Amino acid sequence: MKTKNSFINKWIFIIFSKIPSIFCSQKKKILYQEIIENVKTSKIINYPIDKNSVNFYFISNKISKLLNVADQIIDEKKKKIMKLENCLNLYYLLVTSAKLNPSILKKYILEYIEERISWILKKNKNVNIDHKLIPYTIHIRREKLLCNLINELNVYCSNYLKKINNIKTRYLVIDKNEINIDEEWKKKHEYIFNKNKLKIPISKHNYEFILYGLNESSLRKKVLHILNIPYKNKNLNSDVINILKKRYEIANKCGYNNWSHYSISHFTSEKNNYNNLNEFFNLIKTKIDKDNHKINFNMMKLFNLKKKNNCLNNNYVDNNINNKIDIYDWYYYYNKMSNKSDEYFINTFFPQNSVLNNFIQIISKIYNFSYERVTNKEILKKWPNNSIIYKIKRGNEKKIKQSLNYEKRDNMEFNDCDLLGYIYIIPYMNIRLKDYFKIPLMNSLSSTYLICNGHVLIDYKFMQTVPLEKKLFSSSEILTLFHEFGHAYHLLLLSNKYSLYNFYNIPLDYAEYFSHINEHLVNNYNIIYNLSNKEINNSKINENLFNSIKFDSSRLFNIYLQSLIDYKIHDMNPFLFFSNNNQQDEYALNDFYKIIQNYLPYKISSLYSIHSTSFPYHFSCYYAGSVLSYLLAEIRVILNNSTNDISLKKNNTLISFQKKFYNFLSKDFRDETYPSIIKSALSNQNLIFNK
């Protein structure tokens, strides 16, 4: 433990942990102490908190003192365990505090606290603390060589992300008549130097939308070129290979075949089913191929018909019916086959103010909870602009409450027996001037996390407009709205049931299950109808428009594809797979692209790059290698829930959904017997194909 870095970390801690005692008023100290005492024993704080009331330095000092006390306890094992559990609860709050107000100093102090907790746990091996409950960051510090390898990996990932996040926005300049799209949208994208032209920013957030409207294949090809060209000549492919090699080393060090094996074992509930993954992927592929065969056949007929009409040669032969078309043409014809409506026109039914107000009303009815918006200006001003805070209470239906099966925790006291807690919503991301010139890739991703028992934060990071009142929600943003709230409500309920230290190692597929249930609610006309409210005339979206944006088989395919790419790239031995790779960086991943080409319904070429998609986010996250969790969650929803027939007007469908939801929630995710969805899918293949 006595390394140079440890010495520096220790002195940074000693100096800065004194800040609260020197500079804070007595009133603030009392507040900090009250929050600490509640979090230590996993009690619900029954009032709204703010970012500053969770003081990082005050918490770190308290953890240090608790560790000193725990270290001095010799004979009383129960008391020692209780103190260590108190420390782990506070460590959770410490990590959250660092997220709320990040700084480089906090990084060093976190490392110091992690090393101290790790050292005490190592020293007290005879103390029965479940290793599954020890945070991943602390677990790896118990082995110095492993810790060094992971630190090196973090540096590689950080450098990769810096390049990804430093991509300048590129534009497509075209005549107005070259794209079929809403006229109001065209006005917003007029080229300032020529009003007859459009200047359209191209990024992963909108390229599909643009491809749908462009009639000429050459322009669609140009969109793909603009999308991917900024990622060339940055050695990103070489960075990916270096990260893969480092992950493979770590997995081998931990006794696993490869990084996929390691990640699935550590981060999902399917740790014993690694050997069944190929069979599971093949099963899902068979379903996707079956679902898409008719669409692909009709799409190719349409493609060939248009090609024939444009062909001057009267002897044109239709011989491409079973071939794959280019990715940029595939998106266009898929949109035609699916009868998708103009996305911007649909967005006009979802102005931001109506959406946010209608959303909480709808979701509270679906899950049977009551809410009250916090209006205290003193509290709200301590959160970012436009933040919303809701006080959440349990619903009144006794049968729903009973199915929750709440365990009474030790030292648990409820000042308000109906209070579940508070959900804090930050709808919009802060935009700096330089952000207007860069593609918002990693920095614009939504996140949800538990602050402490009964307090959950959703940071949506939706893009703002000027003025904000003109903001319209896209269908993808509405999906995100439901997805993140699914996480938040789930965490809120669990935090009423478990101590904080139980939240370190929640299986990802279990966590994603609740957000995917919420996403499927969006596929329900009754719900989207109630969410919509056009500002001009208060009209609601009609069913024909809704049908043009609802899920189809492409949803499962997209989830499957991201999972497959992540699995395939981490399931190989990178030292062998890339051993003969003496090519330039631009071609370094070509052999990998050849593998995934077999799973794609379209042709990819040099225009295609994984770096311009959501791949960098998954690839750089701690759960890289287990993106499969999203697919597992989706299949669990498909097999166990029917969300497309929920009606806000029919109590029987709502009550049925609520019972199923809360009954599933009552199962202990920590239990070794938690049901495997891989085994369930392989044992019930007919159910998969009939859904």
* Per-residue pLDDT, 415: 42
Strands (E), 358-440: 369-373, 388-394, 419-428
Of 125, 142, 159, the one marking the end of a domain is 142
Mean local confidence (pLDDT), 367-392? 94
Residue recorded with tokens 């230590």: 40
- Given a cut of 60, whether residue 622 has pLDDT beyond it is yes
pLDDT digits (tens, 9 = 90+) for 369-378: 999 999 999 9
Residue 557, domain member (yes or no): no
Of 89, 107, 142, the one marking the end of a domain is 142
Angstrom distance (rounded) from CA 563 to CA 618: 9
Residue 633, domain member (yes or no): no
Percent of the chain with pLDDT over 70: 90
Domain that residue 512 falls in: 346-551+641-690
Q: What's the one-letter identity of residue 528?
A: I
Q: Tokens in use for 653?
A: 């469908």
Q: Residue 233, Cβ neighbours under 10 Å: how many?
A: 10
* DSSP assigned state of 341: P
pLDDT digits (tens, 9 = 90+) for 270-284: 989 999 999 999 999
Domains of the chain: total: 2
Of 116, 142, 168, the one marking the end of a domain is 142
For residue 185, how far is the Cα from the chain centroid? 29
Report for 180-184, 285-289, 356-360: range of highest mean pLDDT: 356-360
Residue 515, domain member (yes or no): yes
Q: What's the one-letter identity of residue 246?
A: K
> Is the CB of residue 171 less than 8 Å from the CB of residue 127?
no
Least confidently predicted of 113-117, 463-467, 664-668: 463-467
pLDDT digits (tens, 9 = 90+) for 182-213: 888 899 899 998 999 999 999 888 898 899 99
Helix or strand holding residue 402 (H, E): helix 398-404
Report for 70-84, 115-129, 373-387, 613-627: range of highest mean pLDDT: 373-387
Name, in order, each residue with C-beta under 8 angstroms of 404's C-beta and a sequence gap of 6 or more: 493, 497, 662, 665, 666
Question: In degrees rounded to 5, what are phi and psi of residue 547?
Answer: -60, -25
**CA distances (Å), origin 641, targets 55, 225, 636, 658:** 42, 41, 8, 11
- Given a cut of 70, whether residue 242 has pLDDT beyond it is yes
Burial class (CB in 10 A: 0-12, 13-18, 19+), 397: middle
Residue 263, domain member (yes or no): no
Residue 396, domain member (yes or no): yes
Q: Tokens in use for 627?
A: 């993106």
> Is the CB of residue 192 less than 8 Å from the CB of residue 352?
no
Burial class (CB in 10 A: 0-12, 13-18, 19+), 104: exposed
CA nearest to 506, candidates 450, 428, 422: 450
Residue 518, domain member (yes or no): yes
* Per-residue pLDDT, 406: 39
Mean local confidence (pLDDT), 72-85? 85
Q: Tokens in use for 384?
A: 């970012």
Residue 649, domain member (yes or no): yes
Angstrom distance (rounded) from CA 536 to CA 181: 20
Residue 328, domain member (yes or no): no
The rounded mean pLDDT for the chain is 86
* Per-residue pLDDT, 664: 87
Burial class (CB in 10 A: 0-12, 13-18, 19+), 142: middle
Domain CATH code at residue 675: 1.10.1370.40
pLDDT digits (tens, 9 = 90+) for 558-570: 999 999 999 999 9
Angstrom distance (rounded) from CA 233 to CA 585: 8
* Per-residue pLDDT, 655: 87
* Per-residue pLDDT, 310: 63
Angstrom distance (rounded) from CA 156 to CA 625: 16
Contacts 24+ apart (CB under 8 A), 60-65: 60/13, 60/17, 60/94, 60/109, 60/113, 61/17, 61/18, 61/20, 61/21, 62/36, 62/90, 63/87, 63/90, 63/91, 63/94, 63/113, 63/116, 63/117, 64/13, 64/17, 64/113, 64/116
Percent of the chain with pLDDT over 90: 49
Mean local confidence (pLDDT), 22-35? 88
pLDDT category, 438, cuts 50, 70, 90? low
